[in-house]
């Protein structure tokens, strides 16, 4: 499943980044590498980005095109 298709408020873990090396290292620096835990909080209007909480405190706006290239594995229980 990709981050783009992850239901709102469903916890998940990044499994793989299907992007080139530059972008992958950029995402890792931001804390979005494989293993990062995340939750999609909401989607921006008119095809805007997803608001994604990464870890406990950091929140990012992530464009949908990129979200479609981030593979995630959903956890079972919903986020608090």
- Least distance in angstroms from the C-beta of 59 to another protein: 4
Kindly identify the residues of this chain, within the stretch 26-45, that bind another protein according to CB under 8 A.
26-32, 41-42, 44-45
- Least distance in angstroms from the C-beta of 74 to another protein: 20
Q: Which three-class secondary structure state does DSSP give residue 6?
A: coil
Q: What is the dihedral of CA 46, 18, 38, 65, to 10 degrees?
A: 0
User: Which of residues 9, 25, 73, 74 is near another protein by CB under 8 A?
Assistant: 25
Cβ 8 vs Cβ 73: under 8 Å: no
Angle at 19 between CA 2 and CA 66, to 5 degrees: 50
Applying CB under 8 A, the residues found at the interface with another protein are 19, 22-23, 25-32, 41-42, 44-49, 51, 55-63, 65-66, 69, 80
């Amino acid at each position: 499943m990709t981050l783009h298709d992850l239901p709102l408020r469903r916890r998940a873990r990044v499994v793989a980044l299907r992007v080139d090396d530059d972008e992958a290292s950029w995402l890792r620096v931001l804390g979005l590498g494989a293993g990062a835990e995340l939750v999609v909080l909401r989607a921006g209007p008119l095809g805007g980005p997803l608001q994604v909480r990464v870890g406990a405190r950091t929140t990012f706006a992530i464009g949908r095109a990129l979200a479609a290239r981030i593979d995630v594995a959903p956890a079972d229980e919903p986020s608090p």
